[in-house]
Amino acid sequence: MVDGHAPLRLLLIGSPGAGKGTQSSRIQDSFDVNSISSGDLLRRNIALGTDIGVQAAKEMKNGALVSDKVMVKLIDQELNKIGSQQSWLLDGFPRTMTQAQALDHTLESSNQPLNLVIHLNVPENVILQRIMDRWVHIPSGRVYNMTYNPPKRAGLDDVTGEPLERRPDDNPETFKIRLQKHHELTEPLLDYYKQRNILVSLAGNTSDEIYPQIRQLLQSRFKPEEEEKVEAGVV
């Protein structure tokens, strides 16, 4: 529980490559929070060859957005799996105003409104380099960066030992399109949440610079006894 009463219901918003996946993992290492990543969900659907995966593969490969209808349904399903008293964060959703309004509608109908939106504000000139250095473990969504956060064994996931892959949309051409979509469709959400007084913008060049700010922000919201993993000395 957060603030002594409400569980954390958090969005991570940031341009492609801003480190949403990395920050979600770190938050989960320290706090008792469920995480839903829209991109990871889609990549898992593609790997499994589901109907959604088949529909989404082309858009993802081209850097376009998957339809709002598919995304809203997918995320609603995931949110339904989480108990109303549990904290959660969303990474990569909502990405359009239509998605944001659909999410509000879902959450308001169960009386569980969002209570925090964190904007990861990373300068554009460092992001492309980071993307070109990025390798992922598709089944878990774990992200590595060959410069800042390399795997313990080259090319292999730290936890499973399975091979890491490059994402097909992590190339300069597709990245440019993803960035354009972000400016055009996702950035307007920042104003939407700012007006509701739930937006916090955190700046830095690397995830290492930004994470301590997130941690501090969340620590003040979680009761100490719920930082189980921190107390147990895992972090």
**Residue range at the interface with ligand ATP (CB under 6 A); choices 87-95, 154-162, 192-200, 206-214:** 87-95
Please tell me whether 167 is known to bind a ligand: yes
The minimum distance between CB 145 and ligand ATP, in angstroms, equals 11
Instruction: Identify whether 26 is a catalytic site residue.
Output: no
Point out the catalytic residue in the list 26, 130, 178, 215: 178
Instruction: Identify whether 95 is a catalytic site residue.
Output: yes
x/- track of binding to ligand ATP for residues 137-176 (CB under 6 A): --------------------------------x-------
Q: Which of 9, 10, 79, 92 binds ligand ATP (CB under 6 A)?
A: 92
Cβ-contact 17, 127 below 8 angstroms: yes
Q: Which of 8, 27, 30, 63 binds ligand ATP (CB under 6 A)?
A: 63
Residues 6 or more apart whose Cβ sits within 8 Å of residue 223: 1, 2, 4
* Helix (H), strand (E), coil (C) string for the chain: CECCCECCEEEEEECCCCCHHHHHHHHHHHCCEEEEEHHHHHHHHHHHCCHHHHHHHHHHHHCCCCCHHHHHHHHHHHHHCCCCCCEEEEECCCCCHHHHHHHHHHHHHCCCCCCEEEEEECCHHHHHHHHHCEEEECCCCEEEECCCECCCCCCECCCCCCECECCCCCCHHHHHHHHHHHHHHHCHHHHHHHCCCCEEEEECCCHHHHHHHHHHHHHCCECHHHCHHHHCCCC
Instruction: Identify whether 153 is a catalytic site residue.
Output: no
The minimum distance between CB 66 and ligand ATP, in angstroms, equals 4
Instruction: Identify whether 20 is a catalytic site residue.
Output: yes
21 lies in the binding site for Mg ion (CB under 5 A): yes
Instruction: Identify whether 166 is a catalytic site residue.
Output: no
21 lies in the binding site for ligand ATP (CB under 6 A): yes
**Residue range at the interface with Mg ion (CB under 5 A); choices 35-43, 99-107, 116-124, 217-225:** 35-43
- Active site residue ranges: 20, 95, 134, 167, 178
Residues in contact with ligand ATP by CB under 6 A are 16-18, 20-21, 38-39, 42, 59-60, 63-66, 71, 92-93, 95, 99, 169, 178
